Chains A and B, each alone.
Chain A
Amino acid sequence: GDSVTQMEGPVTLSEEAFLTINCTYTATGYPSLFWYVQYPGEGLQLLLKATKADDKGSNKGFEATYRKETTSFHLEKGSVQVSDSAVYFCALRGDAGGTSYGKLTFGQGTILTVHP
Protein backbone atom coordinates (compact mmCIF):
# COMPACT_ATOMS: atom_id res chain seq x y z
CA GLY A 1 0.00 0.00 0.00
CA ASP A 2 0.88 3.67 -0.03
CA SER A 3 3.35 4.95 2.55
CA VAL A 4 5.22 8.13 3.44
CA THR A 5 8.48 8.31 5.35
CA GLN A 6 9.70 11.55 6.86
CA MET A 7 12.98 12.51 8.37
CA GLU A 8 12.88 11.96 12.09
CA GLY A 9 12.89 14.96 14.34
CA PRO A 10 12.90 16.99 16.29
CA VAL A 11 14.76 19.56 14.22
CA THR A 12 16.16 22.56 16.06
CA LEU A 13 17.50 25.56 14.15
CA SER A 14 18.50 29.13 14.75
CA GLU A 15 16.57 31.92 13.08
CA GLU A 16 17.61 32.53 9.45
CA ALA A 17 19.07 29.04 9.08
CA PHE A 18 18.32 26.87 6.06
CA LEU A 19 15.71 24.15 6.53
CA THR A 20 15.35 20.78 4.83
CA ILE A 21 12.87 18.12 5.94
CA ASN A 22 13.19 14.96 3.89
CA CYS A 23 10.18 13.04 2.66
CA THR A 24 10.04 9.92 0.51
CA TYR A 25 7.04 7.94 -0.57
CA THR A 26 5.87 4.62 -1.94
CA ALA A 27 2.81 4.58 -4.16
CA THR A 28 1.54 3.20 -7.43
CA GLY A 29 0.68 5.46 -10.32
CA TYR A 30 0.89 9.22 -10.00
CA PRO A 31 -0.11 10.42 -6.56
CA SER A 32 -0.47 14.02 -5.50
CA LEU A 33 1.92 15.16 -2.77
CA PHE A 34 1.34 17.61 0.05
CA TRP A 35 2.98 19.28 3.00
CA TYR A 36 0.81 20.18 5.96
CA VAL A 37 1.78 22.29 8.96
CA GLN A 38 0.34 22.08 12.46
CA TYR A 39 0.89 24.96 14.86
CA PRO A 40 0.54 24.32 18.59
CA GLY A 41 -3.06 23.70 19.61
CA GLU A 42 -4.39 23.83 16.07
CA GLY A 43 -5.43 21.49 13.28
CA LEU A 44 -3.38 20.72 10.21
CA GLN A 45 -3.21 23.35 7.48
CA LEU A 46 -2.22 22.76 3.89
CA LEU A 47 1.15 24.40 3.29
CA LEU A 48 1.85 23.45 -0.32
CA LYS A 49 1.20 20.75 -2.87
CA ALA A 50 2.33 19.27 -6.19
CA THR A 51 0.24 17.11 -8.46
CA LYS A 52 2.69 15.79 -11.04
CA ALA A 53 6.36 15.02 -11.54
CA ASP A 54 8.73 18.01 -11.53
CA ASP A 55 6.03 20.32 -10.16
CA LYS A 56 7.26 22.69 -7.48
CA GLY A 57 4.88 23.68 -4.72
CA SER A 58 5.61 26.86 -2.82
CA ASN A 59 4.07 28.98 -0.09
CA LYS A 60 5.30 31.36 2.62
CA GLY A 61 8.91 30.87 1.54
CA PHE A 62 8.67 27.07 1.70
CA GLU A 63 9.25 24.96 -1.40
CA ALA A 64 9.10 21.30 -2.36
CA THR A 65 9.66 19.63 -5.74
CA TYR A 66 7.92 16.41 -6.81
CA ARG A 67 10.75 14.06 -7.82
CA LYS A 68 9.34 10.89 -9.28
CA GLU A 69 12.73 9.38 -10.07
CA THR A 70 13.71 9.49 -6.40
CA THR A 71 10.12 9.27 -5.04
CA SER A 72 10.81 12.31 -2.89
CA PHE A 73 9.18 15.59 -1.92
CA HIS A 74 11.63 17.33 0.40
CA LEU A 75 10.54 20.53 2.12
CA GLU A 76 12.96 23.48 2.08
CA LYS A 77 13.10 27.05 3.28
CA GLY A 78 16.04 29.36 2.85
CA SER A 79 15.68 31.34 6.08
CA VAL A 80 13.45 30.11 8.90
CA GLN A 81 11.76 32.31 11.46
CA VAL A 82 10.69 31.64 15.03
CA SER A 83 7.10 31.67 13.80
CA ASP A 84 7.84 28.61 11.62
CA SER A 85 8.09 26.45 14.75
CA ALA A 86 5.47 23.75 14.23
CA VAL A 87 4.99 20.13 13.23
CA TYR A 88 5.30 19.41 9.50
CA PHE A 89 3.59 16.47 7.81
CA CYS A 90 4.29 15.08 4.38
CA ALA A 91 1.33 13.33 2.74
CA LEU A 92 0.25 11.71 -0.49
CA ARG A 93 -3.10 11.15 -2.12
CA GLY A 94 -3.44 8.18 -4.43
CA ASP A 95 -4.37 8.77 -8.06
CA ALA A 96 -7.70 7.90 -9.64
CA GLY A 97 -6.52 4.46 -10.74
CA GLY A 98 -5.61 3.24 -7.31
CA THR A 99 -7.65 1.62 -4.57
CA SER A 100 -6.58 4.29 -2.13
CA TYR A 101 -7.93 7.12 -4.26
CA GLY A 102 -9.30 9.94 -2.15
CA LYS A 103 -7.44 8.94 0.99
CA LEU A 104 -4.46 10.92 2.28
CA THR A 105 -1.57 8.93 3.70
CA PHE A 106 0.52 10.93 6.18
CA GLY A 107 4.08 10.66 7.36
CA GLN A 108 4.77 10.61 11.06
CA GLY A 109 5.44 14.35 11.31
CA THR A 110 8.60 16.31 12.04
CA ILE A 111 8.77 18.77 14.92
CA LEU A 112 10.61 21.97 14.02
CA THR A 113 11.77 24.40 16.69
CA VAL A 114 13.40 27.68 15.66
CA HIS A 115 15.30 29.69 18.27
CA PRO A 116 15.89 33.46 18.07
Chain B
Amino acid sequence: DAGVIQSPRHEVTEMGQEVTLRCKPISGHNSLFWYRQTMMRGLELLIYFNNNVPIDDSGMPEDRFSAKMPNASFSTLKIQPSEPRDSAVYFCASSFRRVQGRGYTFGSGTRLTVV
Protein backbone atom coordinates (compact mmCIF):
# COMPACT_ATOMS: atom_id res chain seq x y z
CA ASP B 1 0.00 0.00 0.00
CA ALA B 2 1.53 3.29 -1.11
CA GLY B 3 -0.35 5.30 1.48
CA VAL B 4 -1.92 8.70 0.85
CA ILE B 5 -0.01 10.44 -1.92
CA GLN B 6 0.17 14.20 -2.15
CA SER B 7 1.75 16.34 -4.81
CA PRO B 8 3.69 18.49 -5.07
CA ARG B 9 5.76 18.17 -1.87
CA HIS B 10 6.80 21.80 -2.09
CA GLU B 11 5.27 24.69 -3.98
CA VAL B 12 6.55 28.24 -4.19
CA THR B 13 4.36 30.69 -6.03
CA GLU B 14 3.84 34.40 -6.40
CA MET B 15 0.93 36.21 -4.86
CA GLY B 16 -2.06 36.22 -7.16
CA GLN B 17 -1.23 32.96 -8.90
CA GLU B 18 -3.47 29.91 -8.87
CA VAL B 19 -2.26 26.93 -6.87
CA THR B 20 -3.58 23.38 -7.14
CA LEU B 21 -2.73 20.72 -4.59
CA ARG B 22 -3.41 17.06 -5.34
CA CYS B 23 -4.21 14.03 -3.28
CA LYS B 24 -4.63 10.34 -3.99
CA PRO B 25 -6.25 8.56 -1.03
CA ILE B 26 -5.69 4.95 -0.06
CA SER B 27 -7.64 2.62 -2.30
CA GLY B 28 -10.92 1.61 -0.67
CA HIS B 29 -11.06 4.50 1.78
CA ASN B 30 -14.32 6.42 1.46
CA SER B 31 -13.58 9.54 3.49
CA LEU B 32 -11.07 12.21 2.52
CA PHE B 33 -9.97 15.24 4.53
CA TRP B 34 -7.97 18.37 3.77
CA TYR B 35 -6.11 20.03 6.65
CA ARG B 36 -3.95 23.12 6.89
CA GLN B 37 -1.18 23.42 9.45
CA THR B 38 0.49 26.64 10.58
CA MET B 39 2.45 27.60 13.66
CA MET B 40 -0.13 30.19 14.63
CA ARG B 41 -3.32 28.20 14.14
CA GLY B 42 -2.18 24.61 14.44
CA LEU B 43 -4.05 21.92 12.49
CA GLU B 44 -7.27 23.14 10.87
CA LEU B 45 -9.80 20.98 9.04
CA LEU B 46 -10.69 22.71 5.79
CA ILE B 47 -13.12 20.27 4.19
CA TYR B 48 -14.01 16.63 4.15
CA PHE B 49 -15.70 14.28 1.71
CA ASN B 50 -17.61 11.04 2.22
CA ASN B 51 -18.03 8.89 -0.87
CA ASN B 52 -16.77 11.80 -3.01
CA VAL B 53 -19.43 14.17 -1.68
CA PRO B 54 -18.40 17.26 0.32
CA ILE B 55 -19.90 16.92 3.79
CA ASP B 56 -18.49 19.87 5.70
CA ASP B 57 -16.63 22.78 4.14
CA SER B 58 -17.09 25.17 7.02
CA GLY B 59 -13.35 25.28 7.55
CA MET B 60 -12.60 26.66 4.10
CA PRO B 61 -11.29 30.13 4.91
CA GLU B 62 -12.83 32.03 2.01
CA ASP B 63 -14.08 31.81 -1.54
CA ARG B 64 -10.55 31.74 -2.88
CA PHE B 65 -10.37 28.14 -1.68
CA SER B 66 -12.18 25.32 -3.47
CA ALA B 67 -11.93 21.54 -3.31
CA LYS B 68 -13.16 18.80 -5.58
CA MET B 69 -13.26 15.04 -5.54
CA PRO B 70 -14.27 13.88 -9.02
CA ASN B 71 -13.75 10.21 -8.15
CA ALA B 72 -12.77 7.94 -5.28
CA SER B 73 -9.08 8.07 -6.12
CA PHE B 74 -8.39 11.76 -6.58
CA SER B 75 -8.99 15.12 -4.94
CA THR B 76 -7.75 18.64 -5.49
CA LEU B 77 -7.55 21.75 -3.34
CA LYS B 78 -7.31 24.95 -5.32
CA ILE B 79 -6.43 28.44 -4.15
CA GLN B 80 -7.14 31.27 -6.56
CA PRO B 81 -5.75 33.85 -6.23
CA SER B 82 -3.14 32.89 -3.67
CA GLU B 83 -1.97 35.25 -0.93
CA PRO B 84 1.08 35.21 1.37
CA ARG B 85 -1.12 34.33 4.36
CA ASP B 86 -2.00 31.06 2.62
CA SER B 87 1.55 29.85 3.24
CA ALA B 88 1.26 26.66 5.26
CA VAL B 89 1.59 22.90 5.07
CA TYR B 90 -1.51 21.31 3.57
CA PHE B 91 -2.28 17.72 4.49
CA CYS B 92 -4.64 15.27 2.92
CA ALA B 93 -5.89 12.26 4.91
CA SER B 94 -8.19 9.35 4.15
CA SER B 95 -10.14 6.84 6.19
CA PHE B 96 -12.93 4.29 6.27
CA ARG B 97 -15.97 6.20 7.44
CA ARG B 98 -18.02 3.31 8.76
CA VAL B 99 -15.34 1.60 10.78
CA GLN B 100 -15.52 2.84 14.34
CA GLY B 101 -12.14 3.22 15.93
CA ARG B 102 -10.25 3.75 12.70
CA GLY B 103 -7.97 6.72 12.56
CA TYR B 104 -6.86 8.57 9.49
CA THR B 105 -3.88 7.95 7.26
CA PHE B 106 -2.14 11.19 6.42
CA GLY B 107 -0.10 12.11 3.40
CA SER B 108 3.30 13.73 3.75
CA GLY B 109 1.86 17.16 3.02
CA THR B 110 2.46 19.98 0.56
CA ARG B 111 4.48 22.89 1.88
CA LEU B 112 3.10 25.98 0.18
CA THR B 113 4.99 29.27 0.16
CA VAL B 114 3.34 32.31 -1.40
CA VAL B 115 5.71 35.21 -1.91
Contacts and interface: CB of A to CB of B under 8 A. Distances in A.
Contacts, number: 58
A49 B55 CA distance: 25
B106 A45 contact: yes
Nearest to A94: B100
B104 interface: yes
A104 B45 CA distance: 9
Interface in B51-82: 55-56
Contacts of A102: 31, 48, 50, 55, 95, 97
Interface of A: 32, 34, 36, 42-46, 49, 51, 89, 91, 93, 95-96, 101-104, 106, 108-109
Interface of B: 4, 31, 33, 42-43, 45, 48, 50, 55-56, 91, 93, 95, 97, 100-109
11 contacts: A36-B103, A43-B91, A44-B91, A44-B106, A51-B100, A93-B102, A95-B100, A102-B95, A104-B33, A104-B103, A104-B104
